[in-house]
């Protein structure tokens, strides 16, 4: 049977009408948004955190104290302890917050802080809060708890419709992550708030890296939080979310209670109780490494396409890290160097600067399209002299897995998510910045530059040790073709294609590599 040409015309018109109507739903005017700012650290000096930190800071004037949070359980404990220890303020900023075990527990920790009188400001990118609308709307009604959504979607369900009507705006996201208590201590780095970042649940673990910081850099971070909180893209939740219904707050509390009572959460709490950070803190042995630390961050106006007054974060980062003389060691989960980046690395190698890079292998990468953006640069990077490693999956030996869980590269079930690099064994960057076009041009990012040979060499040592255990080294063979070398002790296995992957996945990546979308990745 042949359909008449005009049969589906009314349906097409109806769909177009709906899309046009949705497109007409502009963001609401920013009315009745209250001004609020971080409390100066001098005014929180008499809090528990302030009193504990003061003697340490006084002994190291001008420097900030740093603890690397490599272990997933330590990273959760650090956030939970800051939430429980805060007495004045909690300023929290994240790209993704899931309503799973760890997300529920930390949201409940913020709520309990608000209940005891702590002012909580929660700034979340609106693209990463699936299922949280009613909970956030309820929490926003608490007199001590304010929620703002960064670059929000007007249509709440399904959100993806927003990309059809407002893609140029919604493609820009706030990728920053920070957790600050009383303007005395902060945590920044690569981790979002979800089970895969903290080793909870049964899914894969993201191998990530954060830092816990005290000292002068915390006030820098708080000022930056204020800049985002007051930006033109930070909308009060009440303007975006449906109004909280009666009983929604009770539902949030009950969800937290049910979560904490679940067997899965109980097992996680028991595992967290073994945290080395918690043990060292309780024994008074939490050793901060003191060093000059500076914050680098994008202007929130970046998402609006406005040129920043003091340069993009990528430019700030390049200036802060200085000109490498001997070595660069780079860890990035989503690594797309672009042609310009390859030329930079080539130039550095010609000057005698040794460049080592660790990123995800195809079997470990959670975004195949991003891997396609990277894969076409492997051969040019190797030809430029770069030493290239890709995170792999290690066979499940208990002792090896347990050992790797305490290190930067993560466990055998990991996908790499840490973003860090070291220069000349002296300077270290830790933050949210991926070395790809999206971090450079589209998303906002945040990080610390740490002038510490001790921490830098610690990171480089971990890189060297773990690259042998958990990574393939990618090389060129005698025919100028790619090879992946897997080392297991004295045993060496070579592969002629991406290890641990099927033909279909490799073909898909090959197809993706031809799409003109590199600037979006």
pLDDT per residue over 127-162, tens digit each? 999 999 999 999 999 999 999 999 999 999 999 999
Contact (CB, 8 A) for 188 and 221: yes
Tell me, yes or no, whether 324 lies in a domain. Answer: yes
The residues, ordered by sequence, that sit 6+ positions from 402 with a Cβ below 8 Å of its Cβ are none
Instruction: Specify the pLDDT at position 520.
Output: 80
What value, to the nearest 5°, has the Cα angle with vertex 170 and ends 169 and 174? 105
Do 256 and 308 fall into the same domain? no
What value, to the nearest 5°, has the Cα angle with vertex 227 and ends 431 and 81? 55
Structural domain count, the chain: 2
Cα-based torsion angle of the residue sequence 242, 248, 253, 255 in order, rounded to the nearest 10 degrees: -80
The residues, ordered by sequence, that sit 6+ positions from 433 with a Cβ below 8 Å of its Cβ are 313, 314, 317, 419, 439, 445, 446, 447
Question: What tens digit of pLDDT does each residue of 304-329 get?
Answer: 988 877 778 999 999 999 999 999 99
Instruction: Specify the pLDDT at position 506.
Output: 85
Catalytic residues: 175, 177, 182, 417, 419, 424
Tell me, yes or no, whether 438 lies in a domain. Answer: yes
Do 233 and 297 fall into the same domain? no
Between 203 and 108, the more confident residue is 108
Do 49 and 126 fall into the same domain? yes
Residue 218, SS3 per DSSP: helix
Token readout for 403 is 């050992």
Q: What is the model's pTM?
A: 0.92
Do 263 and 298 fall into the same domain? no
Do 270 and 394 fall into the same domain? no
Backbone dihedral angles phi then psi of residue 201, each to the nearest 5 degrees? 75, -170
Residue 181: which of 53, 303, 68, 349 has the closest Cα? Answer: 53
In whole angstroms, what is the distance from residue 34 CA to residue 39 CA? 15
* Pairing, β 420-423 against β 64-69: unpaired
Question: What tens digit of pLDDT does each residue of 154-188 get?
Answer: 999 999 999 999 999 999 999 999 999 999 999 99
Contact (CB, 8 A) for 459 and 467: no
Tell me, yes or no, whether 332 lies in a domain. Answer: yes
Token readout for 158 is 């399904």
Question: What tens digit of pLDDT does each residue of 495-517 get?
Answer: 999 998 888 888 888 888 888 88
Q: Please tell me whether the peptide bond between 158 and the residue prior to it is cis, using omega within 30 degrees of 0.
A: yes
Instruction: Specify the pLDDT at position 25.
Output: 65
The percentage of the chain sitting over the pLDDT mark of 70, rounded to a whole number, equals 91
Per-chain mean pLDDT for the chain: 89
Do 278 and 335 fall into the same domain? no
CATH code (residue 94): 3.30.870.10
Instruction: Specify the pLDDT at position 11.
Output: 58
Do 184 and 95 fall into the same domain? yes
The residues, ordered by sequence, that sit 6+ positions from 342 with a Cβ below 8 Å of its Cβ are 377, 380, 381, 384
Do 219 and 309 fall into the same domain? no
Contact (CB, 8 A) for 232 and 304: yes
At 397, the pLDDT band (50, 70, 90 cuts) reads very low
Tell me the mean pLDDT in the region 202-219.
90
Do 366 and 273 fall into the same domain? no
Supply the range of the domain harboring residue 425: 293-520
């Amino acid at each position: 049977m042949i359909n008449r040409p005009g049969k589906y015309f009314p349906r097409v018109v109806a769909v177009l009408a709906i899309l046009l109507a949705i497109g007409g739903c502009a963001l609401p005017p920013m009315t009745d948004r209250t001004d609020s700012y971080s409390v100066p650290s001098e005014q929180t000096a008499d809090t528990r955190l302030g009193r504990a930190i003061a003697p340490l800071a006084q002994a190291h004037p001008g420097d900030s104290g740093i603890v690397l949070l490599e272990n997933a359980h330590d990273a959760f404990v650090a956030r939970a302890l800051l939430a429980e220890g805060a007495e004045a303020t909690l300023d929290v900023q994240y790209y993704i917050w899931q309503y799973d075990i760890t997300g529920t527990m930390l949201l409940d920790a913020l709520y309990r802080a608000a209940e005891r009188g702590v002012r909580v400001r929660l700034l979340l990118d609106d693209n990463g809060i699936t299922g949280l609308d009613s909970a956030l709307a309820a929490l926003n009604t608490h007199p001590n708890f304010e929620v703002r959504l960064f670059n929000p979607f007007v249509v709440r369900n399904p959100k993806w419709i927003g990309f059809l009507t407002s893609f140029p705006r919604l493609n820009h996201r706030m990728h920053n992550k920070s957790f600050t208590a009383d303007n005395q201590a902060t945590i920044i780095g690569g981790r979002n708030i979800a089970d895969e970042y903290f080793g909870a649940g049964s899914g894969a673990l993201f191998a990530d890296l954060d830092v816990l910081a005290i000292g002068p850099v915390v006030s820098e971070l708080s000022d930056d939080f204020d800049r985002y909180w007051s930006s033109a893209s930070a909308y009060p939740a009440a303007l975006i979310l449906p109004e909280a219904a009666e009983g929604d707050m009770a539902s949030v509390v009950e969800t937290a209670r049910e979560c904490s009572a679940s067997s899965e959460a109980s097992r996680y709490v028991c595992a967290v109780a073994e945290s080395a950070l918690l043990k060292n803190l309780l024994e008074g042995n939490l050793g901060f490494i003191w060093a000059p630390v500076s914050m680098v961050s994008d202007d929130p106006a970046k998402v609006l396409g406005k040129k920043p007054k003091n340069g993009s974060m990528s430019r700030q980062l390049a200036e802060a890290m200085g000109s490498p003389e001997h070595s660069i060691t780079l860890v990035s989960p989503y690594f797309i160097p672009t042609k310009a980046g390859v030329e930079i690395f080539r130039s550095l190698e010609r000057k005698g600067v040794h460049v080592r890079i660790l990123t995800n292998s195809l079997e470990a990468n959670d975004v195949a399209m991003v891997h396609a953006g990277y894969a076409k640069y492997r051969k040019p990077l190797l030809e430029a002299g770069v030493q290239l490693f890709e995170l792999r999956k290690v066979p499940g030996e208990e002792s090896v897995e347990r050992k790797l869980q305490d290190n930067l590269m993560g466990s055998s079930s990991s996908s790499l998510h840490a973003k860090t690099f070291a220069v000349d064994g002296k300077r270290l960057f830790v933050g949210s910045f991926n070395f790809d076009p999206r971090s450079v041009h589209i998303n906002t990012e945040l990080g610390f530059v740490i002038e510490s040979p001790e921490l830098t060499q610690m990171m480089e040592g971990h890189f060297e040790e773990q690259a042998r255990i958990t990574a393939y080294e990618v090389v060129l063979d005698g025919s100028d073709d790619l090879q992946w070398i897997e080392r297991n002790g004295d045993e060496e296995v070579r592969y002629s294609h991406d290890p641990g992957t099927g033909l279909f996945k490799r073909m898909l990546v090959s197809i993706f590599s031809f799409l003109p979308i590199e600037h979006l990745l």
